[in-house]
Structure 1
Amino acid sequence: MNTRENGSEQEPVIRDNRKIDPETGQARETGKEQADQAAPTPDLASVELATQLAERTADLQRLQAEYSNYRKRVERDRTAVKEQAVAGVLGELLPVLDDIGRARDHGELTGGFAKVSESLEAATGKLGLSTFGTKGEPFDPTVHEALLHSYSPDVTEPTCVEILQPGYRIGERVLRPARVAVAEPEEEPVASDN
């Protein structure tokens, strides 16, 4: 036990140097400020506190906005990676689907093989794969690949007259264009000046 020479106990000295009183929330006056009563320091302290509060609030709002943008970007990236993975797998299955289509066209799709093909087509449909390209639709070079070209009096614009291989897409993304035979209107004979 610490005692002074006169026999009394020595008390620890605690100095609270906090600038804000934790009980009242008000700014404290420092020793210099107490001695300098002529200067309006409480107003200056209030202004400083308000400035600091505004800075911290702006920092917090900026961090919240950055975090929100980060979350949106991560979610968008996850969705894009998932779509690319699904498109990659389905792209590898397109030759199998073509073989199934050819077998169906030749009447060879019977028995257990027919059930397997139906299951595979249903599973790819659930993943968003859809076919496109029908006979008689207008030719669109963004979704059709012309393999054959001819002229016909039966069409008024470039038209798909035969679907050689169907096209596949996931949503709006084209995995493979439809491979088609295209017919254009016959050209008008050029009149000669005789």
Structure 2
Amino acid sequence: MTTLYLLGSAAPPVLDIVPVIKEAQSVGYDVCLGLTPAAARWLEPRLPELERVTGHLVRSEYKHPGAADAWPRADAALFAPATFNSINAWALGLTNSFVVGFAAEAIGKGIPLVAMPCVNAAYAQHRALDRSVAELRAMDVRVLYGEGGFMPNPSGERHPYPWHLALGAVREVAPPRA
């Protein structure tokens, strides 16, 4: 089975993560869920359910030095939803959260990475976002942003998050194996 690290930031689509996990599992991925601290707080009442669904501890913090890893080795990672803050921190190498730290390290380890931002139109106007997306793409991260990926929503509006695009990209970069 192919191990997929599903990494999520505190953006509204993270609240609907269970069907995404189940979809990934249905095509052959063993899903490990990692969350930014804010996303973990949002989902705190549901963490036991998420652990039952994935069969793994939900992680939002770094492990202690020397501690055994709670997850199997990653074959691929999907960072979605990835907020403005997470995308910019990742591109700059600012690893103050477990999920951003894992994603930054995964680049050097050659682990296939797919990212799909979730930002509103106001954040999309900030030049740092385009620079960060370009920087991640230059490091071989498949960033689904713009045409064929996530399109920013006008501020205050919520549109369906295109999870199908993210999972499709994961299948392309790391096909599931039995």
- Classify the TM-score, shorter chain: under 0.3
Pick the structure with greater CA Rg. 1
Give the TM-score of the pair, scaled to structure 1. 0.22
Bigger RCO of structures 1 and 2 (CA < 8 A, at least 6 apart): 2
